Amino acid sequence: MRSTSLEGHTFGKYRVLEPLGRGGMARVYRAFHPQLERYVAIKVMRADLADDEEFLARFRREAKAVAGLRHANIVQVFDFDVQDDIYYMVMELLEGDTLKTRLNDYRVRGEQMPWGEMMRILLDVLDGLAYAHSEAMIHRDIKPANILLTKRGEAVIGDFGIAQIIGGTRYTASGMLIGTLEYIAPEQGMQNRSDARSDIYSLGIVFYEMLTQCTPFNADTPLAILMKHVNDPLPLPRTINAEIPEPFERVVLKALAKKPEDRYQGAADMARALRVAAEEAEIALPSRISLPLSFTTESAPSDPVAIFSGTTRNMVADAQFADDDTDVTLGQHLDKIRAEAQPDADTLVGEAPPAKPAPGRRKILVLILQGLAIVALGNLAMFAVAASTGRWAIFEHGWPIEIFLVCLGLSVAMYTTASIWVLVPLGIIFGTGALLAYSTVTGNWDLWVVLWLAELLAVAGSIAIPITLAKQPERARALSRLIALMLGAFSVLMILIVGVTAVFRPIWLILIGLVALIAWWLQQHRAKRAAS
Protein backbone atom coordinates (compact mmCIF):
# COMPACT_ATOMS: atom_id res chain seq x y z
CA MET A 1 0.00 0.00 0.00
CA ARG A 2 1.30 3.43 -0.85
CA SER A 3 2.19 5.42 2.22
CA THR A 4 1.53 8.86 0.65
CA SER A 5 -1.94 10.30 0.90
CA LEU A 6 -3.87 10.87 -2.32
CA GLU A 7 -5.96 13.74 -0.94
CA GLY A 8 -6.00 16.61 -3.41
CA HIS A 9 -4.85 14.43 -6.32
CA THR A 10 -6.83 14.23 -9.52
CA PHE A 11 -7.65 10.98 -11.29
CA GLY A 12 -9.01 11.86 -14.70
CA LYS A 13 -11.80 14.32 -13.98
CA TYR A 14 -12.22 13.20 -10.39
CA ARG A 15 -10.64 15.17 -7.56
CA VAL A 16 -9.88 13.18 -4.40
CA LEU A 17 -11.31 14.84 -1.28
CA GLU A 18 -10.77 12.56 1.71
CA PRO A 19 -10.27 8.91 2.68
CA LEU A 20 -13.32 6.87 3.57
CA GLY A 21 -11.57 3.74 4.76
CA ARG A 22 -9.52 0.79 3.66
CA GLY A 23 -9.85 -2.94 3.31
CA GLY A 24 -7.61 -5.86 2.55
CA MET A 25 -7.26 -5.04 -1.15
CA ALA A 26 -7.73 -1.30 -1.59
CA ARG A 27 -8.15 2.13 -0.10
CA VAL A 28 -11.36 4.06 -0.73
CA TYR A 29 -11.64 7.83 -1.14
CA ARG A 30 -14.46 10.29 -1.55
CA ALA A 31 -14.02 12.23 -4.76
CA PHE A 32 -15.88 14.87 -6.77
CA HIS A 33 -16.60 15.26 -10.50
CA PRO A 34 -16.97 19.06 -10.96
CA GLN A 35 -18.63 18.95 -14.41
CA LEU A 36 -21.27 16.44 -13.33
CA GLU A 37 -21.37 17.88 -9.79
CA ARG A 38 -21.37 14.33 -8.47
CA TYR A 39 -19.66 12.76 -5.50
CA VAL A 40 -18.20 9.33 -6.13
CA ALA A 41 -16.09 6.71 -4.40
CA ILE A 42 -12.67 5.88 -5.84
CA LYS A 43 -11.21 2.51 -4.96
CA VAL A 44 -7.43 2.52 -5.33
CA MET A 45 -5.88 -0.96 -5.57
CA ARG A 46 -2.95 -1.83 -3.39
CA ALA A 47 0.26 -1.17 -5.28
CA ASP A 48 1.90 -4.43 -4.19
CA LEU A 49 -0.95 -6.40 -5.76
CA ALA A 50 -0.21 -5.02 -9.21
CA ASP A 51 3.31 -6.44 -9.59
CA ASP A 52 2.20 -9.31 -11.80
CA GLU A 53 2.85 -8.60 -15.47
CA GLU A 54 -0.61 -9.87 -16.43
CA PHE A 55 -2.36 -7.61 -13.92
CA LEU A 56 -3.03 -4.70 -16.28
CA ALA A 57 -4.68 -6.88 -18.92
CA ARG A 58 -6.71 -8.69 -16.30
CA PHE A 59 -7.66 -5.43 -14.59
CA ARG A 60 -8.98 -3.88 -17.79
CA ARG A 61 -10.83 -7.06 -18.82
CA GLU A 62 -12.53 -7.72 -15.50
CA ALA A 63 -13.18 -4.07 -14.63
CA LYS A 64 -14.89 -3.63 -17.99
CA ALA A 65 -17.11 -6.62 -17.26
CA VAL A 66 -17.97 -5.27 -13.80
CA ALA A 67 -18.70 -1.81 -15.24
CA GLY A 68 -21.14 -3.48 -17.62
CA LEU A 69 -23.34 -4.67 -14.75
CA ARG A 70 -26.47 -2.56 -14.37
CA HIS A 71 -28.65 -3.59 -11.46
CA ALA A 72 -30.21 -1.81 -8.50
CA ASN A 73 -28.70 -4.32 -6.07
CA ILE A 74 -25.12 -4.08 -7.37
CA VAL A 75 -22.84 -1.10 -6.77
CA GLN A 76 -22.49 0.77 -10.05
CA VAL A 77 -18.98 1.17 -11.55
CA PHE A 78 -18.65 4.42 -13.53
CA ASP A 79 -15.05 4.29 -14.67
CA PHE A 80 -11.72 2.51 -14.31
CA ASP A 81 -8.18 3.31 -15.37
CA VAL A 82 -4.51 3.37 -14.43
CA GLN A 83 -2.60 6.59 -13.74
CA ASP A 84 1.02 6.79 -12.59
CA ASP A 85 0.96 3.05 -11.93
CA ILE A 86 -2.08 3.52 -9.69
CA TYR A 87 -5.01 1.27 -10.57
CA TYR A 88 -8.37 2.70 -9.59
CA MET A 89 -12.09 2.22 -10.08
CA VAL A 90 -14.71 4.95 -9.82
CA MET A 91 -17.97 3.82 -8.26
CA GLU A 92 -21.20 5.28 -6.95
CA LEU A 93 -21.04 6.62 -3.41
CA LEU A 94 -23.71 5.04 -1.24
CA GLU A 95 -24.90 6.40 2.07
CA GLY A 96 -25.84 3.81 4.64
CA ASP A 97 -24.22 0.96 6.51
CA THR A 98 -22.85 -2.53 5.94
CA LEU A 99 -24.65 -5.68 6.99
CA LYS A 100 -21.61 -6.40 9.15
CA THR A 101 -22.16 -3.18 11.10
CA ARG A 102 -25.90 -3.83 11.34
CA LEU A 103 -25.35 -7.32 12.78
CA ASN A 104 -22.81 -5.96 15.25
CA ASP A 105 -25.33 -3.33 16.36
CA TYR A 106 -27.85 -6.08 17.09
CA ARG A 107 -25.24 -8.09 18.98
CA VAL A 108 -24.32 -5.11 21.16
CA ARG A 109 -27.98 -4.47 21.92
CA GLY A 110 -28.60 -8.14 22.69
CA GLU A 111 -31.35 -8.21 20.07
CA GLN A 112 -32.22 -10.37 17.06
CA MET A 113 -32.64 -8.96 13.56
CA PRO A 114 -36.34 -9.29 12.62
CA TRP A 115 -37.05 -12.29 10.41
CA GLY A 116 -38.74 -10.15 7.77
CA GLU A 117 -35.74 -7.83 7.62
CA MET A 118 -33.46 -10.82 7.01
CA MET A 119 -35.66 -12.01 4.16
CA ARG A 120 -35.73 -8.57 2.52
CA ILE A 121 -31.92 -8.27 2.65
CA LEU A 122 -31.34 -11.78 1.30
CA LEU A 123 -33.88 -11.39 -1.50
CA ASP A 124 -32.27 -8.12 -2.60
CA VAL A 125 -28.84 -9.75 -2.63
CA LEU A 126 -30.16 -12.78 -4.53
CA ASP A 127 -31.73 -10.50 -7.14
CA GLY A 128 -28.32 -8.91 -7.70
CA LEU A 129 -26.55 -12.27 -7.79
CA ALA A 130 -29.08 -13.77 -10.21
CA TYR A 131 -28.46 -10.91 -12.64
CA ALA A 132 -24.67 -11.02 -12.28
CA HIS A 133 -24.56 -14.80 -12.68
CA SER A 134 -26.62 -14.48 -15.87
CA GLU A 135 -23.86 -12.17 -17.10
CA ALA A 136 -21.23 -14.82 -16.22
CA MET A 137 -19.90 -12.79 -13.28
CA ILE A 138 -19.14 -14.55 -9.97
CA HIS A 139 -18.54 -12.50 -6.83
CA ARG A 140 -16.26 -14.95 -4.95
CA ASP A 141 -16.25 -12.94 -1.70
CA ILE A 142 -19.83 -12.64 -0.43
CA LYS A 143 -19.82 -11.68 3.27
CA PRO A 144 -21.62 -9.14 5.52
CA ALA A 145 -18.92 -6.48 4.97
CA ASN A 146 -19.63 -6.59 1.22
CA ILE A 147 -23.41 -6.20 1.57
CA LEU A 148 -24.41 -2.55 1.82
CA LEU A 149 -27.69 -1.40 3.39
CA THR A 150 -28.51 1.98 1.90
CA LYS A 151 -30.70 4.80 3.12
CA ARG A 152 -32.97 3.98 0.18
CA GLY A 153 -33.89 0.80 2.03
CA GLU A 154 -32.10 -1.56 -0.35
CA ALA A 155 -29.37 -4.16 0.06
CA VAL A 156 -26.61 -3.64 -2.50
CA ILE A 157 -23.66 -5.93 -3.27
CA GLY A 158 -20.26 -4.26 -3.19
CA ASP A 159 -16.82 -5.30 -4.43
CA PHE A 160 -18.28 -7.26 -7.33
CA GLY A 161 -15.54 -8.80 -9.43
CA ILE A 162 -12.70 -7.46 -7.28
CA ALA A 163 -11.59 -10.95 -6.30
CA GLN A 164 -11.35 -11.87 -9.97
CA ILE A 165 -9.52 -8.65 -10.83
CA ILE A 166 -6.95 -9.03 -8.07
CA GLY A 167 -6.50 -12.78 -8.37
CA GLY A 168 -7.47 -14.12 -11.78
CA THR A 169 -7.75 -17.84 -12.29
CA ARG A 170 -4.17 -18.42 -13.35
CA TYR A 171 -2.75 -15.94 -10.89
CA THR A 172 -4.72 -17.46 -8.07
CA ALA A 173 -3.26 -20.89 -8.78
CA SER A 174 0.18 -19.51 -8.00
CA GLY A 175 -0.82 -18.41 -4.53
CA MET A 176 -3.24 -15.47 -4.76
CA LEU A 177 -6.56 -16.98 -3.74
CA ILE A 178 -8.82 -14.13 -2.64
CA GLY A 179 -11.54 -14.57 -0.06
CA THR A 180 -12.55 -14.73 3.57
CA LEU A 181 -12.22 -18.20 5.08
CA GLU A 182 -15.27 -18.05 7.34
CA TYR A 183 -17.47 -17.59 4.25
CA ILE A 184 -15.59 -19.55 1.58
CA ALA A 185 -17.14 -22.55 -0.18
CA PRO A 186 -15.35 -25.93 0.19
CA GLU A 187 -14.52 -26.26 -3.51
CA GLN A 188 -13.29 -22.66 -3.59
CA GLY A 189 -10.88 -23.23 -0.73
CA MET A 190 -9.67 -26.73 -1.56
CA GLN A 191 -9.70 -26.70 -5.35
CA ASN A 192 -9.73 -22.99 -6.21
CA ARG A 193 -12.88 -23.61 -8.25
CA SER A 194 -15.89 -21.36 -7.98
CA ASP A 195 -19.15 -20.82 -9.81
CA ALA A 196 -22.59 -19.45 -9.02
CA ARG A 197 -23.12 -22.18 -6.41
CA SER A 198 -20.02 -21.00 -4.53
CA ASP A 199 -21.68 -17.60 -4.08
CA ILE A 200 -24.81 -19.43 -2.89
CA TYR A 201 -22.73 -21.21 -0.22
CA SER A 202 -21.17 -17.93 0.95
CA LEU A 203 -24.60 -16.29 1.16
CA GLY A 204 -25.79 -19.34 3.10
CA ILE A 205 -23.06 -18.62 5.68
CA VAL A 206 -24.28 -15.01 5.83
CA PHE A 207 -27.85 -16.26 6.39
CA TYR A 208 -26.60 -18.62 9.12
CA GLU A 209 -24.85 -15.69 10.85
CA MET A 210 -27.97 -13.53 10.60
CA LEU A 211 -30.01 -16.28 12.27
CA THR A 212 -27.55 -17.31 15.00
CA GLN A 213 -25.25 -14.25 15.33
CA CYS A 214 -22.21 -16.45 14.66
CA THR A 215 -20.59 -18.22 11.73
CA PRO A 216 -20.78 -22.03 11.77
CA PHE A 217 -17.10 -22.88 11.29
CA ASN A 218 -14.41 -21.18 13.35
CA ALA A 219 -10.96 -22.31 14.46
CA ASP A 220 -7.49 -21.02 15.28
CA THR A 221 -5.78 -21.78 11.96
CA PRO A 222 -6.72 -21.43 8.26
CA LEU A 223 -6.32 -25.19 7.80
CA ALA A 224 -8.72 -25.95 10.65
CA ILE A 225 -11.38 -23.55 9.32
CA LEU A 226 -11.09 -24.86 5.78
CA MET A 227 -11.28 -28.51 6.82
CA LYS A 228 -14.39 -27.75 8.88
CA HIS A 229 -16.05 -26.35 5.75
CA VAL A 230 -15.08 -29.52 3.89
CA ASN A 231 -15.77 -32.21 6.50
CA ASP A 232 -17.64 -31.07 9.62
CA PRO A 233 -21.43 -31.39 9.83
CA LEU A 234 -23.21 -28.08 10.02
CA PRO A 235 -24.25 -27.13 13.60
CA LEU A 236 -28.02 -26.83 13.26
CA PRO A 237 -29.19 -23.21 13.69
CA ARG A 238 -32.19 -24.22 15.83
CA THR A 239 -29.87 -25.83 18.39
CA ILE A 240 -28.36 -22.38 18.89
CA ASN A 241 -31.63 -20.46 18.79
CA ALA A 242 -34.80 -22.56 19.12
CA GLU A 243 -36.94 -19.59 17.97
CA ILE A 244 -35.58 -19.79 14.43
CA PRO A 245 -38.44 -20.84 12.10
CA GLU A 246 -37.92 -24.40 10.91
CA PRO A 247 -38.45 -23.47 7.20
CA PHE A 248 -35.51 -21.03 7.46
CA GLU A 249 -33.29 -23.82 8.80
CA ARG A 250 -34.18 -25.97 5.78
CA VAL A 251 -33.02 -23.22 3.41
CA VAL A 252 -29.72 -22.88 5.29
CA LEU A 253 -29.11 -26.65 5.21
CA LYS A 254 -29.54 -26.80 1.43
CA ALA A 255 -27.52 -23.66 0.73
CA LEU A 256 -24.64 -25.02 2.83
CA ALA A 257 -24.48 -28.51 1.33
CA LYS A 258 -20.88 -29.68 0.99
CA LYS A 259 -21.26 -30.67 -2.67
CA PRO A 260 -22.23 -27.89 -5.13
CA GLU A 261 -24.72 -30.16 -6.89
CA ASP A 262 -26.67 -30.56 -3.64
CA ARG A 263 -27.15 -26.80 -3.16
CA TYR A 264 -29.55 -24.44 -4.88
CA GLN A 265 -28.34 -24.36 -8.47
CA GLY A 266 -29.02 -20.66 -8.89
CA ALA A 267 -29.85 -17.49 -6.99
CA ALA A 268 -33.41 -17.52 -8.32
CA ASP A 269 -33.92 -21.03 -6.89
CA MET A 270 -32.81 -19.90 -3.44
CA ALA A 271 -34.97 -16.77 -3.67
CA ARG A 272 -38.05 -18.90 -4.42
CA ALA A 273 -37.22 -21.18 -1.50
CA LEU A 274 -36.90 -18.17 0.83
CA ARG A 275 -40.28 -16.81 -0.21
CA VAL A 276 -41.91 -20.20 0.39
CA ALA A 277 -40.15 -20.46 3.77
CA ALA A 278 -41.38 -17.00 4.76
CA GLU A 279 -44.92 -17.95 3.76
CA GLU A 280 -44.77 -21.20 5.74
CA ALA A 281 -43.42 -19.35 8.78
CA GLU A 282 -46.08 -16.63 8.30
CA ILE A 283 -43.41 -13.93 8.11
CA ALA A 284 -44.44 -10.74 6.34
CA LEU A 285 -41.87 -9.37 3.88
CA PRO A 286 -41.25 -5.61 4.27
CA SER A 287 -41.07 -3.59 1.06
CA ARG A 288 -37.78 -1.98 2.14
CA ILE A 289 -35.03 -2.34 4.73
CA SER A 290 -35.26 -0.19 7.84
CA LEU A 291 -32.75 2.56 8.49
CA PRO A 292 -29.47 1.50 10.11
CA LEU A 293 -29.58 1.29 13.90
CA SER A 294 -26.55 3.58 13.96
CA PHE A 295 -28.77 6.46 12.79
CA THR A 296 -31.29 6.03 15.57
CA THR A 297 -29.30 5.03 18.63
CA GLU A 298 -30.26 7.52 21.32
CA SER A 299 -27.37 6.64 23.62
CA ALA A 300 -24.79 6.97 20.86
CA PRO A 301 -26.15 9.17 18.05
CA SER A 302 -24.14 9.40 14.87
CA ASP A 303 -24.43 11.12 11.51
CA PRO A 304 -25.14 9.18 8.34
CA VAL A 305 -21.93 7.61 7.12
CA ALA A 306 -20.60 7.20 3.63
CA ILE A 307 -19.65 3.63 2.96
CA PHE A 308 -18.53 1.63 -0.01
CA SER A 309 -17.77 -2.00 -0.72
CA GLY A 310 -16.74 -3.24 2.67
CA THR A 311 -15.28 -0.03 4.07
CA THR A 312 -16.85 1.35 7.21
CA ARG A 313 -17.64 4.73 8.68
CA ASN A 314 -16.26 8.03 7.56
CA MET A 315 -13.00 9.11 9.26
CA VAL A 316 -12.33 5.63 10.58
CA ALA A 317 -8.88 4.98 12.02
CA ASP A 318 -6.45 3.52 9.51
CA ALA A 319 -5.19 0.66 11.68
CA GLN A 320 -7.16 -2.57 12.17
CA PHE A 321 -10.07 -1.24 10.18
CA ALA A 322 -11.82 -4.60 9.99
CA ASP A 323 -11.02 -8.02 11.32
CA ASP A 324 -12.58 -9.88 8.42
CA ASP A 325 -10.92 -8.10 5.52
CA THR A 326 -10.57 -10.07 2.35
CA ASP A 327 -7.33 -12.01 2.71
CA VAL A 328 -5.19 -11.34 -0.35
CA THR A 329 -2.54 -13.82 0.81
CA LEU A 330 -5.00 -16.63 1.43
CA GLY A 331 -3.68 -18.69 -1.45
CA GLN A 332 -0.17 -18.62 -0.06
CA HIS A 333 -1.43 -20.16 3.18
CA LEU A 334 -3.58 -22.77 1.46
CA ASP A 335 -1.33 -23.97 -1.39
CA LYS A 336 0.47 -26.34 0.95
CA ILE A 337 -2.82 -27.38 2.56
CA ARG A 338 -4.29 -28.34 -0.82
CA ALA A 339 -1.21 -30.34 -1.74
CA GLU A 340 -1.29 -32.30 1.53
CA ALA A 341 -5.04 -32.69 1.94
CA GLN A 342 -5.97 -33.30 -1.68
CA PRO A 343 -3.16 -34.33 -4.04
CA ASP A 344 -5.59 -35.08 -6.86
CA ALA A 345 -7.02 -31.71 -7.85
CA ASP A 346 -9.75 -33.39 -9.89
CA THR A 347 -11.22 -35.17 -6.89
CA LEU A 348 -14.48 -33.53 -5.92
CA VAL A 349 -14.68 -31.93 -2.51
CA GLY A 350 -17.14 -33.77 -0.32
CA GLU A 351 -16.59 -37.26 -1.74
CA ALA A 352 -14.25 -38.18 1.10
CA PRO A 353 -16.04 -39.57 4.11
CA PRO A 354 -16.80 -36.83 6.63
CA ALA A 355 -14.40 -36.57 9.52
CA LYS A 356 -15.86 -37.46 12.87
CA PRO A 357 -14.87 -34.71 15.30
CA ALA A 358 -14.04 -36.26 18.63
CA PRO A 359 -15.86 -34.70 21.57
CA GLY A 360 -13.69 -33.03 24.14
CA ARG A 361 -12.76 -34.79 27.36
CA ARG A 362 -14.66 -32.27 29.42
CA LYS A 363 -17.86 -32.86 27.42
CA ILE A 364 -17.52 -36.63 27.79
CA LEU A 365 -17.02 -36.25 31.54
CA VAL A 366 -20.11 -34.05 31.81
CA LEU A 367 -22.21 -36.60 29.92
CA ILE A 368 -20.98 -39.44 32.16
CA LEU A 369 -21.82 -37.41 35.26
CA GLN A 370 -25.27 -36.64 33.84
CA GLY A 371 -25.95 -40.34 33.34
CA LEU A 372 -24.77 -41.23 36.85
CA ALA A 373 -26.88 -38.42 38.30
CA ILE A 374 -30.00 -39.75 36.56
CA VAL A 375 -29.39 -43.27 37.91
CA ALA A 376 -28.70 -41.95 41.41
CA LEU A 377 -31.77 -39.71 41.46
CA GLY A 378 -33.90 -42.60 40.17
CA ASN A 379 -32.74 -44.83 43.00
CA LEU A 380 -33.38 -42.08 45.54
CA ALA A 381 -36.91 -41.71 44.18
CA MET A 382 -37.45 -45.49 44.48
CA PHE A 383 -36.17 -45.39 48.05
CA ALA A 384 -38.50 -42.49 48.88
CA VAL A 385 -41.50 -44.39 47.47
CA ALA A 386 -40.58 -47.58 49.36
CA ALA A 387 -39.98 -45.72 52.63
CA SER A 388 -43.22 -43.74 52.43
CA THR A 389 -45.45 -46.68 51.43
CA GLY A 390 -43.64 -49.49 53.24
CA ARG A 391 -43.63 -51.48 50.01
CA TRP A 392 -39.98 -52.48 49.64
CA ALA A 393 -40.97 -54.91 46.91
CA ILE A 394 -40.11 -52.18 44.45
CA PHE A 395 -36.45 -53.22 44.80
CA GLU A 396 -37.35 -56.91 44.45
CA HIS A 397 -39.72 -56.66 41.48
CA GLY A 398 -38.77 -53.28 40.04
CA TRP A 399 -35.14 -53.96 39.19
CA PRO A 400 -35.73 -53.36 35.43
CA ILE A 401 -36.11 -49.71 36.43
CA GLU A 402 -32.32 -49.60 36.74
CA ILE A 403 -32.03 -50.52 33.07
CA PHE A 404 -34.42 -47.78 31.98
CA LEU A 405 -32.62 -45.23 34.14
CA VAL A 406 -29.47 -46.04 32.14
CA CYS A 407 -31.51 -45.67 28.94
CA LEU A 408 -32.73 -42.28 30.13
CA GLY A 409 -29.14 -41.17 30.74
CA LEU A 410 -28.10 -42.34 27.27
CA SER A 411 -31.10 -40.54 25.75
CA VAL A 412 -29.94 -37.29 27.35
CA ALA A 413 -26.42 -37.89 26.01
CA MET A 414 -27.76 -38.64 22.52
CA TYR A 415 -29.91 -35.49 22.49
CA THR A 416 -27.07 -33.32 23.79
CA THR A 417 -24.45 -34.53 21.29
CA ALA A 418 -26.87 -35.15 18.40
CA SER A 419 -24.78 -38.24 17.67
CA ILE A 420 -26.69 -41.06 15.99
CA TRP A 421 -24.01 -43.54 17.16
CA VAL A 422 -25.30 -43.35 20.74
CA LEU A 423 -28.26 -45.33 19.41
CA VAL A 424 -26.10 -48.47 19.32
CA PRO A 425 -25.86 -48.96 23.11
CA LEU A 426 -29.15 -47.15 23.77
CA GLY A 427 -31.19 -49.31 21.41
CA ILE A 428 -29.67 -52.58 22.61
CA ILE A 429 -30.14 -51.74 26.30
CA PHE A 430 -33.68 -50.40 25.75
CA GLY A 431 -34.72 -53.51 23.82
CA THR A 432 -33.32 -55.79 26.51
CA GLY A 433 -34.99 -53.74 29.24
CA ALA A 434 -38.37 -53.84 27.53
CA LEU A 435 -38.26 -57.64 27.26
CA LEU A 436 -37.17 -58.06 30.88
CA ALA A 437 -39.81 -55.59 32.04
CA TYR A 438 -42.51 -57.59 30.28
CA SER A 439 -41.46 -60.83 31.94
CA THR A 440 -41.09 -59.16 35.34
CA VAL A 441 -44.45 -57.41 35.25
CA THR A 442 -46.39 -60.41 33.93
CA GLY A 443 -44.38 -63.09 35.74
CA ASN A 444 -44.22 -65.01 32.47
CA TRP A 445 -40.63 -66.10 31.83
CA ASP A 446 -41.51 -69.04 29.61
CA LEU A 447 -41.77 -66.80 26.54
CA TRP A 448 -38.00 -66.20 26.56
CA VAL A 449 -37.76 -69.18 24.22
CA VAL A 450 -39.28 -66.84 21.59
CA LEU A 451 -38.39 -63.39 22.90
CA TRP A 452 -34.66 -63.83 22.27
CA LEU A 453 -35.49 -63.38 18.56
CA ALA A 454 -36.81 -59.90 19.36
CA GLU A 455 -33.54 -59.24 21.16
CA LEU A 456 -31.65 -60.02 17.95
CA LEU A 457 -33.87 -57.62 16.04
CA ALA A 458 -33.18 -54.87 18.59
CA VAL A 459 -29.43 -55.40 18.25
CA ALA A 460 -29.55 -55.46 14.43
CA GLY A 461 -31.71 -52.34 14.24
CA SER A 462 -29.57 -50.43 16.73
CA ILE A 463 -26.51 -51.05 14.55
CA ALA A 464 -28.08 -50.75 11.08
CA ILE A 465 -29.86 -47.42 11.65
CA PRO A 466 -26.71 -45.43 12.63
CA ILE A 467 -24.70 -46.96 9.78
CA THR A 468 -27.41 -45.97 7.27
CA LEU A 469 -27.93 -42.44 8.60
CA ALA A 470 -24.19 -41.75 8.94
CA LYS A 471 -24.11 -41.20 5.18
CA GLN A 472 -26.37 -38.16 5.66
CA PRO A 473 -24.81 -36.20 8.57
CA GLU A 474 -27.33 -33.34 8.61
CA ARG A 475 -30.33 -35.68 8.59
CA ALA A 476 -28.64 -37.91 11.17
CA ARG A 477 -28.24 -35.01 13.60
CA ALA A 478 -31.90 -34.06 13.30
CA LEU A 479 -33.19 -37.64 13.62
CA SER A 480 -30.85 -38.42 16.52
CA ARG A 481 -32.58 -35.80 18.65
CA LEU A 482 -36.04 -37.07 17.66
CA ILE A 483 -35.10 -40.67 18.46
CA ALA A 484 -33.53 -39.58 21.76
CA LEU A 485 -36.76 -37.82 22.76
CA MET A 486 -38.88 -40.84 21.85
CA LEU A 487 -36.71 -43.41 23.66
CA GLY A 488 -36.34 -41.07 26.64
CA ALA A 489 -40.13 -40.69 26.88
CA PHE A 490 -40.64 -44.47 26.58
CA SER A 491 -37.99 -45.03 29.27
CA VAL A 492 -39.90 -42.77 31.66
CA LEU A 493 -43.15 -44.59 30.79
CA MET A 494 -41.56 -48.00 31.41
CA ILE A 495 -40.13 -46.78 34.74
CA LEU A 496 -43.63 -45.73 35.83
CA ILE A 497 -45.26 -48.99 34.69
CA VAL A 498 -42.67 -51.24 36.33
CA GLY A 499 -42.55 -49.12 39.49
CA VAL A 500 -46.32 -48.99 40.00
CA THR A 501 -46.65 -52.69 39.23
CA ALA A 502 -43.92 -53.57 41.75
CA VAL A 503 -45.57 -51.51 44.47
CA PHE A 504 -49.26 -52.15 43.74
CA ARG A 505 -49.44 -55.69 42.42
CA PRO A 506 -51.33 -57.28 40.64
CA ILE A 507 -50.97 -56.05 37.09
CA TRP A 508 -54.68 -55.44 36.51
CA LEU A 509 -54.32 -52.09 38.31
CA ILE A 510 -51.87 -50.97 35.64
CA LEU A 511 -54.14 -52.17 32.86
CA ILE A 512 -57.09 -50.28 34.27
CA GLY A 513 -54.97 -47.15 34.51
CA LEU A 514 -53.76 -47.47 30.92
CA VAL A 515 -57.31 -48.04 29.65
CA ALA A 516 -58.48 -44.96 31.53
CA LEU A 517 -55.60 -42.91 30.11
CA ILE A 518 -56.35 -44.04 26.55
CA ALA A 519 -60.06 -43.29 27.02
CA TRP A 520 -59.26 -39.80 28.30
CA TRP A 521 -56.94 -39.13 25.33
CA LEU A 522 -59.58 -40.27 22.84
CA GLN A 523 -62.16 -38.02 24.48
CA GLN A 524 -59.83 -35.00 24.26
CA HIS A 525 -59.02 -35.81 20.64
CA ARG A 526 -62.71 -36.04 19.70
CA ALA A 527 -63.41 -32.77 21.52
CA LYS A 528 -60.69 -30.98 19.53
CA ARG A 529 -61.98 -32.39 16.24
CA ALA A 530 -65.52 -31.33 17.09
CA ALA A 531 -64.33 -27.82 17.99
CA SER A 532 -62.45 -27.50 14.69
Q: For residues 81-99, b (16+ Cβ closer than 10 Å) or e, as one string?
A: ebeeebbbbbbebbbbbbb
DSSP 359-378: PPHHHHHHHHHHHHHHHHHH
Whole-number Cα distances in Å, 370 to 188, 406, 494: 42, 10, 20
Evaluate whether 105 touches 170 at the Cβ level (below 8 Å).
no
Q: What are phi and psi of 398, to 5 degrees?
A: -105, 20
Residues annotated as part of the active site: 141
Give the whole-angstrom CA distance, residue 95 versus residue 229: 34
Residue 512: Cβ within 10 Å count:
10
Give the whole-angstrom CA distance, residue 173 versus residue 298: 49
DSSP 312-323: -STT--STT--T
Residue 144 DSSP code: G
Composition of the chain by helix, strand, coil, percent to 5: 55, 10, 35
Q: What are phi and psi of 371, to 5 degrees?
A: -60, -45
Give the whole-angstrom CA distance, residue 527 versus residue 243: 30
Q: Which amino acid type is present at position 498?
A: V
